Structure formats: C-alpha cells, structure tokens
C-alpha cells in the first residue's frame, strides 16, 4: 500500500505503510474543518512495530555500525531541510501555529540530527590497567528498542529531539505519534522512509493514543521510554513500567517564571515576555506563565502588558497578520477557560480577561485571547498548575530573596528567565533557582550542545548536550587478565603483595 498526500495517513512499520480498522479525522483548529483522515493505531499496531524494531536490533548490524548510524543521521538532516517549508506549511494547517513559529520548530530538527551524528563517534568507553597483566574495559552499548512518545504541541521538533540520540546510541525505535497531528506524522514518516541508508525496522511510527503508549510501557521488549508530555501522565507510566524496571527519560510540565528586576531593559524584557506567553499559543512546556516583577517597575510593566495583550492580533496561521494562532481544539479552549474562571473566583484580578472567541469569523476555530491575571498568593491553582494556554499571572516582589522564593514555590522546575542590567544579580539569583534551564535577559534559547531537562516534577534525565545518549545506553565492564609476559615479573609482583 502506498502512502500519498491525498490518501489516509498511515503508520510506518517495518518498512511498510500499515492501515488500521479504525480511522479518525484530522481537523484544522483555526476553522474546525476536516483536512484529512488517518489510521488510529491500537495494541496490535504497537505489537507489530515492537516486533519489527526488536528484529532489526537483534538481526541487523545497526547497533554495531557507527559509521552507518552517522551517515543516516546526516542524511535525515538533509531530507528534513529539503522538506522544511512543506513541513512548516502543513504544521501550521494542522497544529495551528503561525508560520514563523512553525518554521522555527522545523529549524530545530536538522542541527540536532547533525549534532548526534557527531556524538556517534564521540561516545566511547574507557580502559585502564589495574594490575600487572590485568585490565578493565568499559563500553557503552545500546539498550535495545526505545519507545518514544511525542506530544502534539511540537511534534516535529520533539520527535527529533528523542529520535536523534536513540539512533546515535544504536537503538531501534517505535514512535507513538499523536492523533492531533496525523497528517504531519505521515509527512515525517515519508521523509524518514525515503532514506536509502536506513535499515528496515529501525524506525517505526504509529499514530495512536493510550493503547499504543500502554503497550510500549508494559512490553518487556521495550526497555526504555523517552516521553514528553504532562507530569500526570509521566507519573502514571512510570508506575506502570515499574514491573519491568522500565527506564524512563521524562520531559514533563513546566511553569516558567519570568523575573523582571527594577533595572531591567523593559523594552527587551516585555517583548520577550509577550513571546514567552503567546508562542504556540501558550501550548509549550517552557511557556512564560508566571511574571514576577520588582515593585519599582511593576506599574509600568502592568500598563504596557495590558496595552499590548489587549491588542494582540489573534487569527489563523494562514493570515499574515496573525500574531498568535488557535489552541489545538475547542475542548482545550473550554479547559483553559474553566481554569481562568476558577482563578477569578479564588481572588485573581483580571488585568486582561481575554478568553474564548465565541463571535465573528474566528468563532468556528479554537481561539483563546491572551489573559493576564494579577494574584497575591502563589497557592492559587492558576499559579501552581500548568495551563497550556496563553494565560499569564503577575506577582510583585521587593527583594532578590523574595523573587527566588516566589520562583521556587512550584512543583515544576523546567526553566526560568531573569531580567536585569546588573552583572551579578542574575547570576546570584540563577544559582538559587530550581530549574534545569535559566536564561539571563533572554527566553527559549536552545542549543543542541547543552543539556535540556527539568528539576522536581518537570522530569528526569536530559535531552540535548552530551548527556542525551545516557537514556539509551548500558555500561558494560569487561575484565581482561592476559597475564604478565614473564614468570620473573609475576614473582616480583607477588613479593610486593
């Protein structure tokens, strides 16, 4: 069966396009209109994918052939670059991102693949002589089949972020892709499958939901899961995988604080604050959702953000004027609005109410206007819970110590942003922030050569950087005792024992 752009979006398993009995509809979140059909994977689909990946791991030379793995990663990088605009256009249509944001997401893919191609040869073991004629060798081997679970908010970038190190390590993979981006999934699969260097069964892609993820988590043939998603689901799958002592790499929720001190460059800080809230319509693990402002500039920050967020141009990705697109669907619009209403009942003050668009040409889409709330307590649910929508809270502080305390009053610890023109203040504060990434006078700068991951309930393990292969490898200690070259050397050694 051939996969074409006009056909139902299918799974890619063992080098073949695979259909399912059950189909779903892909919807444009900006209009609510159908844009295609897709096959919905189930446990049988997942089982077939795991079988293919296990065979490829055990019966091909993939796990041993470093040169081939590096070539494949470079080849995939070239192919994603060649299809970058096509991917960005489809991502905007199906995911709702405005085109500049879709292009930004796609731009992250090729550099990450190429960096991991370099890690293929950098990743080595070590050796030492610990006695006369006695040696130890430590090597790092691929763990086996890796299950990768990808969320719908950034399906291209977050797939490649886990796929690149898994392939570099020598694992074979089964990827669970989200139904909300099925047409994008199919295009990704076409790009990957076009590589003539990739052995059959090394990469398998299944579009599905809970059944597929549950099978991967519970299967003894999938020793490691790389999961990006909510903290609630991360906890659940970790508990389910405990019976197999499953290894998990988890990148989970976030509540990124943006800390603005009195001496900050407000023009730069507020421009980034706006983007930190509205990029991907706030559907981003690093969304800047908590604004902490020192009292001396609080009034100016409040006034300028009210003016800016009140006039932000929300619209379809297809419109050049749009500064923020829709949420992924109307169910999420209602979910976010319930959270905002509860916050208002609990004492939050609406500086910009925003909310669902229920009238006019945008009413058929899943649009939610930016919302800006001032709160006086970190205990409110709107401060503590990940919203995954364009909702920003404001709290005022006086001292560095208070700023740190407010920033750390969260179960999450994925990222933080600090703004000050002082040389030393941001470094002092950053040293006490419980977060895996801290930006100074910036937000969402990501580098492939530096690790990314969370503290506390924002996850475990690291992606990007040198540490990203750790989830996908085992250490093996090999002891060699060939003996000494002469009996005399052995006698001398014994005299000293």
Catalytic annotation, residues? 251, 285
Q: How many CB atoms lie within 10 A of CB 488?
A: 9
Tally the C-alpha atoms within 13 A of residue 86's C-alpha that lie toward its C-beta. Answer: 14
Tally the C-alpha atoms within 13 A of residue 461's C-alpha that lie toward its C-beta. Answer: 22
Cβ neighbors of 310 (< 8 A, separation 6 or more) are 352
- Say what angle helices 155-169 and 182-193 make with each other, to 10 degrees: 30
User: What stretches of 259-294 show up as alpha helix (H) in DSSP?
Assistant: 266-278
The C-alpha atoms of residue 162 and residue 175 are separated, in whole angstroms, by: 10
Q: How many CB atoms lie within 10 A of CB 474?
A: 14
b/e map of 395-409 (b: 16 or more CB within 10 Å)?
bbbeebeebbebbbb
The C-alpha atoms of residue 441 and residue 451 are separated, in whole angstroms, by: 19
Pairing mode of beta strands 371-374, 368-369: unpaired
Say which residue the tokens 């949420």 belong to.
327
Go through the chain and tell me how many residues it has: 497
At residue 50's C-alpha, the angle toward residues 45 and 56, to 5°, is: 130
The C-alpha atoms of residue 238 and residue 412 are separated, in whole angstroms, by: 17
The C-alpha atoms of residue 162 and residue 227 are separated, in whole angstroms, by: 9
Q: How far is residue 219 CA from its own chain's centroid?
A: 23
The C-alpha atoms of residue 246 and residue 61 are separated, in whole angstroms, by: 25
Say which residue the tokens 């500086």 belong to.
351
């Amino acid at each position: 069966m051939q996969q074409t752009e006009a056909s139902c979006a299918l799974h890619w398993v063992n080098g073949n396009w695979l259909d399912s009995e059950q189909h779903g509809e892909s919807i444009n979140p900006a209009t609510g209109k159908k844009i295609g059909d897709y096959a919905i994977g189930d446990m049988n689909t997942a089982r077939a994918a795991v079988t293919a990946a296990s065979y490829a791991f055990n019966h091909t030379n993939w796990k041993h052939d470093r040169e081939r793995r590096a070539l494949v990663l470079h080849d995939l990088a070239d192919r994603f670059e060649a299809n970058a605009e096509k991917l960005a256009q489809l991502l905007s249509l199906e995911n709702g991102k405005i085109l500049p944001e879709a292009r930004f997401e796609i731009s992250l893919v090729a550099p990450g693949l190429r960096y991991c191609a370099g890690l293929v040869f950098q990743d080595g073991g070590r050796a030492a002589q610990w006695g006369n004629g006695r040696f130890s060798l430590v090597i790092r081997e691929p763990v086996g089949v890796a299950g990768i679970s990808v969320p719908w908010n950034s399906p291209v970038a977050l797939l490649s972020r886990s796929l690149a190190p898994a392939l570099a390590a020598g694992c074979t993979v089964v990827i669970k892709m989200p139904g909300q981006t099925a047409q994008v999934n199919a295009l990704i699969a076409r790009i990957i499958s076009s590589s003539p260097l990739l052995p059959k069964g090394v990469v398998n892609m299944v579009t599905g939901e809970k059944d597929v993820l549950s099978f991967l988590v519970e299967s003894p043939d999938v020793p490691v899961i790389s999961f990006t998603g909510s903290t609630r689901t991360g906890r659940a799958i970790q508990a389910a995988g405990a019976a197999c002592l499953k290894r998990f790499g988890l990148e989970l929720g976030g509540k990124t604080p943006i800390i603005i001190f009195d001496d900050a460059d407000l023009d730069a800080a507020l421009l980034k604050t706006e983007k930190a809230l509205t990029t991907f319509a706030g559907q981003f693990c690093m969304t800047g959702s908590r604004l902490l402002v020192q009292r001396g500039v609080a009034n100016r920050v409040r006034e300028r953000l009210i003016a800016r967020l009140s006039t932000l141009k929300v619209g379809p990705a297809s419109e050049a004027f749009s500064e923020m697109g829709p949420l992924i669907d109307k169910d999420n619009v209602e979910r976010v609005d319930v959270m905002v209403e509860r916050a208002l009942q609990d004492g939050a003050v609406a500086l910009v109410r925003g909310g669902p668009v229920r009238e006019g040409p945008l009413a058929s889409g899943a649009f939610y206007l930016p919302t800006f709330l001032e709160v006086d307590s970190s205990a409110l649910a709107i401060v503590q819970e990940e919203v995954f929508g364009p909702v920003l809270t404001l709290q005022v502080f006086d001292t560095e110590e208070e700023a740190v305390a407010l920033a750390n009053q969260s179960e999450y610890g994925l990222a933080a942003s600090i703004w000050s023109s002082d040389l030393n203040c941001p470094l002092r504060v950053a040293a006490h922030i419980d977060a895996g990434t801290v930006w100074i006078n910036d937000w969402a700068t990501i580098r492939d050569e530096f690790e990314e991951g969370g503290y506390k309930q924002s996850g475990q393990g690291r992606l990007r950087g040198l540490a990203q292969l750790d989830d996908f490898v085992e250490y093996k200690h090999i002891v060699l005792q060939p003996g000494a070259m002469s009996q005399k050397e052995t006698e001398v050694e014994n005299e000293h024992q």
